[in-house]
């Protein structure tokens, strides 16, 4: 093998690994929504977990990616350790699909229809379709489809280039002697483990083994231990991914390692016993591409059959290996391991944003109650919730910005933009809650109270604020367009209430029934409540924008208000519902 063949082999290997990488990434993006649905239907049942792991891995063509994803789910609380065990087992079987696809390169026949199944026959067509989709389609999903086809064509071209470069090794005595070393099962397992650990993909390392098999020098006796070792080497990715995760995520990574180590130890022992006692002739025969794919599938299925009744044992084993240490494990709300599946990362962001929204609304309502009847316990609770909303906003903002820099679908991008806009409004609502608490404390410390009329007016506007909060929260959590359209009319009513209450306050100052000091506090309270309704309007506008695929909130709200009978009807309904004391009398006098 001369220097030019070595360079050709390196080029083919590089194309093969690159093609596998971009195909897997594109498949993950293209199947994002489907992956979310599959994960959402997970149950504790063994069959559901196995099929999920098998199906997801068959789609994204990487058991390592599936396992890293599972670790992210466990770390974020989306999946239990028991569910993870079954999914990991299924992933080990699902990854064998790749070897079967690569084995098509070994088809040899003079029949035209059979030859069409050979990758060298159909990959040029796939590459042509892929480049058309990628260059000329604007739709993100079609571009991803193009990248999948281009990735597949690239890896198959790399596979054939690599196979062609090493084919001359069949007559090399040095290469033959090297492969004889791997007849030692332990060395074979080590070689497979090291190779896979380096390139971090068992599918890719099996593909490399298949490429070497075209030389005719790779026997089944050498190939089978190497395949067993590849299952151990692929655990490196999961182990690295678990660094910095919580204990359950580390246990999930340890399950992956334990499953493969135990399976390899058991079946390698069986392999050695069979070879020693019966010395099957097939072990000395040359392994074909189909033979390696079959050996890979059989081994992984046997491991699953062996370990499936032992899932309880595996769970206890990893719990012993990574014991509970009270007080040292902090739950991670968002996990960067989910960046590989943006749709699921966004699903988790939505859950955290929902927690932020609930906390914010609760803080504001409790602050309104504390202003009406002050208590230190209630004030402390509001401040605690406001600090929690700050934490949620920082966490979500940073995570969503990082997620948005990745290649994500148009719908996912719109969802991320919506969340980035809305979390700021919910956080500010909680800030206004703390402002109300400070106003209540100021009155309490100086032993001042609102006048009876001001108290009655406060009851009206606080009722309107409580309703607009509830409507906005429902619109955000459920994407409810009808609820979102109710917010703006009520916000306009609250604006009018604020102006009327301000005028009423000026009259009280003029007739001496209200002190100037209390008046300043009252003005701050009205401003805070009115701004809360503004934030609710922003939240509802964002929901309307997303429904209309438009990101201009002010334009959406302006269009809704303009010549809208629906808006006018709701405005009149809320105007009657939230009437200040004395408004009815003033109307009669004017009449």
Give the residue with greater pLDDT, 112 vs 304.
Answer: 304
Dist CA 284 CA 296 (whole Å): 17
The whole-number average pLDDT for the span 410-414 is 77
The pTM score is 0.63
Q: Which residues, in sequence order, are bridge partners of residue 219?
A: 286
Dist CA 344 CA 31 (whole Å): 11
Is residue 107 very low, low, confident or very high in pLDDT (cuts 50, 70, 90)? low
Whether residue 586 has pLDDT greater than 50: no
Query: What pLDDT score was predicted for residue 466?
Result: 94
Q: Which residues, in sequence order, are bridge partners of residue 286?
A: 219
Q: What is the 3-state secondary structure (H, E, C) of 444-493?
A: HHCCCCCCHHHHHHHHHHHHHHHHHHHHHHHHHHHCCHHHHHHHHHHHHH
Rg (CA), the chain: 33
Most confident option among 98-112, 324-338, 382-396, 540-554: 382-396
100-114, 271-285, 499-513: least confidently modelled range? 100-114
Dist CA 323 CA 68 (whole Å): 21
Q: What is the pLDDT of residues 443-460, one digit of tens each?
A: 888 777 777 888 888 999
Long-range CB contact pairs, 510-517, < 8 A, 24+: 513/451, 513/453, 514/451, 514/454, 515/448, 517/446, 517/448
Q: What is the pLDDT of residues 304-340, one digit of tens each?
A: 999 988 888 888 999 888 886 654 443 446 777 677 6
Q: What is the pLDDT of residues 235-293, one digit of tens each?
A: 887 887 777 667 877 888 899 899 999 999 999 999 999 999 988 888 888 888 889 99
Query: What pLDDT score was predicted for residue 299?
Result: 94
Q: What is the pLDDT of residues 16-36, one digit of tens each?
A: 878 877 877 777 667 655 655
Q: Measured in Å, how far apart are the chain's first and last C-alpha atoms?
A: 105
Crossing angle for the helix pair 81-94 and 311-321, to the nearest 10 degrees = 110
Tracing tokens 């404390």 back to the chain, one arrives at 441
Query: What pLDDT score was predicted for residue 416?
Result: 86
Runs of H (alpha helix) within 336-409: 342-372, 376-404
């Amino acid at each position: 093998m001369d220097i030019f063949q070595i360079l050709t082999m390196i080029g083919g290997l590089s194309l093969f690994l690159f093609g596998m990488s971009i195909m897997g990434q594109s498949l993950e993006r293209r199947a994002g929504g489907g992956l979310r649905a599959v994960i959402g239907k997970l149950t504790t049942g063994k069959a559901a977990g196995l099929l999920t792991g098998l199906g997801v891995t068959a789609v994204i063509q990487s058991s390592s990616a599936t396992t890293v994803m599972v670790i992210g789910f466990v770390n974020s609380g989306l999946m239990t350790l028991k569910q993870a065990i079954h999914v990991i087992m299924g992933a080990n079987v699902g990854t064998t699909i790749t070897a079967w696809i690569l084995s098509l390169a070994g088809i040899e026949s003079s029949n035209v229809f059979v030859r069409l199944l050979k990758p060298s026959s159909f990959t040029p067509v796939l590459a042509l379709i892929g480049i058309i989709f990628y260059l000329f389609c604007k739709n993100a999903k079609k571009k991803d489809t193009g990248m999948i086809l281009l990735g597949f064509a690239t890896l198959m071209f790399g596979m054939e280039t690599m196979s062609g470069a090493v084919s001359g090794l069949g007559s090399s005595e040095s290469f033959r002697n090297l492969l004889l070393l791997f007849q030692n099962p332990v060395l074979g397992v080590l070689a497979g483990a090291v190779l896979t650990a380096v390139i971090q993909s068992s599918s890719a390392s099996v593909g490399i083994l298949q490429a070497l098999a075209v030389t005719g020098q790779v026997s089944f006796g050498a190939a089978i231990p190497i395949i067993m070792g590849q299952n151990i080497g692929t655990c490196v990715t999961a182990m690295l991914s678990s660094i910095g995760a919580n204990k359950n995520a580390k246990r999930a990574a340890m399950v992956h390692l334990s499953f493969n180590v135990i399976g390899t130890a058991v079946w390698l022992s069986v392999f050695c016993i069979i070879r020693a006692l019966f010395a099957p002739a097939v072990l000395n025969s040359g392994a074909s591409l189909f033979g390696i794919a079959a050996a890979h599938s059989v081994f992984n299925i046997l491991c699953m059959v062996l370990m499936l009744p032992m899932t309880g044992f595996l769970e206890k084993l990893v719990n012993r290996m990574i014991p509970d240490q009270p007080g040292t494990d902090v739950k991670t709300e968002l996990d960067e391991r989910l960046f590989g599946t943006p749709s699921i990362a966004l699903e988790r962001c939505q859950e955290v944003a929902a927690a932020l929204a609930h906390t914010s609304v609760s803080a504001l309502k409790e602050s309104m109650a504390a202003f009406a009847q002050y208590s230190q316990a209630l004030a402390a609770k509001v401040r605690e919730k406001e600090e929690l909303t700050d934490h949620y906003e920082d966490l979500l903002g940073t995570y969503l910005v990082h997620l948005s820099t990745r290649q994500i679908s148009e719908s996912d991008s719109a969802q991320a933009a919506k969340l980035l806009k809305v979390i700021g409004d919910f956080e500010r609502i909680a800030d206004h809650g703390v402002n109300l608490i400070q106003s209540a404390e100021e009155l309490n410390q100086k032993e001042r109270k609102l006048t009876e009329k001001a108290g009655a007016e406060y009851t009206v506007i606080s009722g309107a604020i409580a309703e607009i909060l509830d409507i906005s929260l429902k619109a955000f959590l459920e994407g409810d367009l009808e609820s979102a359209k109710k917010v703006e009319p009520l916000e306009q009513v609250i604006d009018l209430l604020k102006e009327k209450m301000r005028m009423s306050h000026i009259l009280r100052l003029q007739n001496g029934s209200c002190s100037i000091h209390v008046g300043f506090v009252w003005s701050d309270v009205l401003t805070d409540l009115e701004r809360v309704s503004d934030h609710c309007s922003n939240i509802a506008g964002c929901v309307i924008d997303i429904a209309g695929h438009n990101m201009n909130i002010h334009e959406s709200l302006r269009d809704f208000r303009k010549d809208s009978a629906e808006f006018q009807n709701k405005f009149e309904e809320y105007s009657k519902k939230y009437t200040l004391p004395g408004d009815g009398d003033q109307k009669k006098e004017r009449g």
